[in-house]
Amino acid sequence: MANLSPSTVGRMLNDFKKRGILPKTIKLSYYANSDSFREQTKIKRKKLRSRGHAGGLVKADSIVRFHNGIKRYIVTALDKEKKFAFAYAYKNHSSDAATDFMKKFKSVAPVSLTHVQTDNGSEFAKHFEVYL
């Protein structure tokens, strides 16, 4: 018997599905309220790419760090074209903190901010979206 890697087996299974030898699988979700199954639908979102934008594209994200038992949320922003990065620490992980961060970023950044790319975290919703 041949010793096949997992990626080889995956490629073989996909090939079998394309040729119709294996049936295509359908992912189902169970809804307890109605006691029914429904096919899962994928939500396609258009991704913002860093090329082809007039003006500055800034990528923002947040991380959690513990230092001496104290929890801090560090919000970061990066502009690859101008090679400029900025970070600020907050006590909470809220959209108000992200909004405050963006105000501080705009005051010190050497770039005209036209696009902001985030990971759609909760801190980049509500007040942050209204501010932008």
For residue 81, what are the domain limits? Answer: 56-131
Residue 67 lies in a domain: yes
What average pLDDT score do residues 25-32 get? 84
pLDDT band with cut points at 50, 70 and 90 for residue 49: low
Q: How many domains does the chain have?
A: 2
The residues pairing with 29 across neighbouring beta strands, listed in sequence order, are: 38
The whole model's pTM is what? 0.58
Secondary structure E strands in 9-132: 28-31, 36-39, 56-67, 70-79, 84-90, 113-117
Q: Is 2's pLDDT higher than 80?
A: no
* Same domain assignment for residues 70 and 117: yes
Residue 117 lies in a domain: yes
- How far out from the chain centre does Cα 87 lie? 18
Whether residues 81 and 108 share a domain: the answer is yes
- Name the residue among 84, 35, 38 with its Cα closest to residue 59: 84
